[in-house]
Structures are given as C-alpha cells and as structure tokens.
C-alpha cells in the first residue's frame, strides 16, 4: 500500500526540534521585517500557524529534483506570509520576492496566487483551498500519483459552509492522502470564535463523526504536529486540530484582534523583535 509506506517513511524520520525552533524565530523576524513595508498585513494569523507550516515544509513534504513533490495549500490565504518565509528559506522564492512585498514590481501580496513559485492554488476567500486540495488528491488517486496533499485551514474558515460540504465528502471519496491542519487560534477578524459560535467546540468530535481520523495537538509545538501526521493510520483523511495563539511570539500581539491585519509601527516593531529574543532565549 502506497499510503501505508508513505506514513511509515515519515514515522522513521527524526524531528529536529532545535532546528525547527530556530527557523521559526528567524521566520517571525522576517515577517516583522516585511511588516515594515506595508500599512497592513495579517501578522496575527501568520504567527499562529507558523509552526504548523514550518513542520510541514521541514519534515513532511518530500522533495524531488529540488522541488517539493507533495502539495501544500494554505487555504487560510491571509496567513500566506507563514508560507512565503518557508518558501524563501528553502530557496523556492528568492529573497527579492519578499523584499518587494505588495510592491507593483513584485509578485507577492497579502494572498497567495497561482503562478507564484511554490504556490499551488490561489486562495484568499475562505473555504476554497480545501476543495481544491481534495480535487488534487482525487485526481492523484485516479492517475495513480504518489502524492500527499496538506491543507491548512482556520477556525474562522470552519464557519464556511463549503468546508463542511468537503468535510462530509472527503472520507466518502477515500482521500486518505489528505492531511488537513486547522489553526484554532479562537479568533476571527472581529471577535472570539468561542463567543460568537459557542457550539463550535468541541470540534474534534464533530470531525471524527464525519469519518476522519483526528488528533489534537499544541499548534506551536512543531514536533507534536509532525508526530501526529507521521503516526496516522493512512486509512482515512487526517485532521490535525492545532490549538494556537493568534499573534504567537509577541506578547502584546497575542489574542488582540487588531493584529489580525495591522502592521506594527517602528516602536512596536523594535519592541516585538526584543520580545521574540526573550521568548526564544
């Protein structure tokens, strides 16, 4: 079985915790650097999913001839900086690309577009990336392609009806190479999800009831995320419920809705850099 072999392959890997932590520090710094070029970007949601995205790029995606062979889609497209800093780190995007963030001469902006190196689907409107990822996984099944599809969604996105259409459909199509990671930072743009939609929790029971294999992890512990993925059975689509903190890493940004989209001013930027050093030391 291709699936079982692939899962086994991952579970034999050793997770480099120290390296992952260092990369996440550097990537948060880089995102802060980029924040100084634009008046608005989605820093809070990028920080909340950074360990999720980093663990996928560093340990889950297989490379063939220098390119990633498996597919990664950030369905919560506003968190694309978390993907861009990874693509930059692995040399898929040149440094100049992020240096031209949101500039007319550049290609990168606040949502990912198909055609950008390393971006496999245009997202930005919530509730789209999962369906596209499922179509890819279904085509892979039909064509006999050996690929895994990883999709990052958000808890706000889980309010979209299209997500639930797809949660219901994926096990029926036996898309067992599909891994969905949910960034559960409990914040939408305006308010806490637990306040606007109190019946959203417990989430994992709902997903399980739809026929998925599920695992709940600390979304800022990259090794836990990897371990969950590596130890899945491969007999159903896999859902990793990642408990996260919006704005993670910079205390004054954490759990504050304003940092959904605001860029820090120069004083806040310097303070944020200092806080990162303290957190990581």
Interacting residues with another protein (CB under 8 A): 114, 120-122, 124-125, 127-128, 130-143, 145, 161-162, 165-166, 168-169, 173
Q: How far is the CB of 206 from another protein (least distance, A)?
A: 17
103, 38 Cβ separation under 8 angstroms: no
Q: How far is the CB of 125 from another protein (least distance, A)?
A: 6
Residue number, 1 or 114, with CB nearest to another protein? 114
Residue number, 30 or 141, with CB nearest to another protein? 141
Q: How far is the CB of 113 from another protein (least distance, A)?
A: 8
- DSSP code per residue over 63-105: EETTEE-SEEEESSGGGHHHHHHHHHHTTSS-HHHHHTTT-TT
Q: How far is the CB of 234 from another protein (least distance, A)?
A: 20
Token duo for residue 145: 């392609």
Tell me the backbone φ, ψ of residue 185, rounded to 5 degrees: -95, 5
Residue number, 141 or 271, with CB nearest to another protein? 141
Residue number, 136 or 182, with CB nearest to another protein? 136
Q: How far is the CB of 255 from another protein (least distance, A)?
A: 30
97, 119 Cβ separation under 8 angstroms: no
Residue number, 73 or 241, with CB nearest to another protein? 73
Helix, strand, coil share (%) of the chain residues, nearest 5: 50, 15, 35
Q: Which of 242, 273, 271 is nearest to 45 (CA)?
A: 242
Q: In what order do the strands lie in the sheet with 149-154?
A: 71-74, 149-154, 178-184, 238-243, 213-218
Q: How far is the CB of 62 from another protein (least distance, A)?
A: 17
Helix axes 17-35 and 80-89, enclosed angle (nearest 10): 120
Tell me the backbone φ, ψ of residue 11, rounded to 5 degrees: -70, -20
């Amino acid at each position: 079985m291709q699936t079982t072999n692939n899962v086994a392959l991952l579970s034999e890997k050793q997770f480099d915790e120290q390296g992952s932590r260092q990369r996440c520090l550097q990537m948060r710094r880089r995102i802060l650097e980029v924040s100084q070029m634009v008046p608005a970007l989605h820093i809070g949601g990028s920080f909340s999913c950074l360990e999720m995205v980093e663990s996928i790029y560093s340990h889950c995606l297989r490379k063939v001839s220098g390119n990633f062979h498996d597919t990664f889609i950030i369905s919560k497209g506003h968190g694309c900086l978390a993907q861009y800093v990874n693509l930059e780190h692995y040399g898929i995007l040149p440094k100049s690309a992020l240096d031209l963030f949101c500039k007319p001469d550049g290609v990168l902006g606040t949502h990912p577009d198909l055609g950008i190196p390393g971006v496999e689907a245009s997202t930005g409107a919530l509730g789209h990336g999962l369906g596209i990822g499922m179509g890819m996984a279904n085509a892979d099944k039909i064509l006999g392609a050996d690929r895994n599809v990883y999709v990052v969604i958000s808890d706000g996105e889980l309010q979209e009806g299209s997500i639930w259409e797809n949660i219901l459909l994926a096990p029926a199509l036996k898309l067992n190479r599909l891994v969905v990671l949910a960034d559960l930072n409990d914040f939408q743009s305006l308010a806490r999800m637990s306040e606007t939609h109190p019946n959203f929790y417990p989430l994992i029971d709902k997903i399980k009831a739809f026929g998925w294999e599920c695992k709940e992890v600390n979304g800022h512990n990259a090794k836990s995320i990897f371990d969950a993925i590596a130890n899945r059975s491969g007999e159903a689509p896999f859902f990793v419920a990642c408990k996260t903190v919006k704005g993670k890493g910079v205390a004054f940004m954490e759990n504050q809705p304003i940092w959904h989209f605001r860029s820090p001013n120069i004083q806040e930027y310097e303070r944020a850099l200092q806080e990162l050093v303290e957190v990581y030391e």
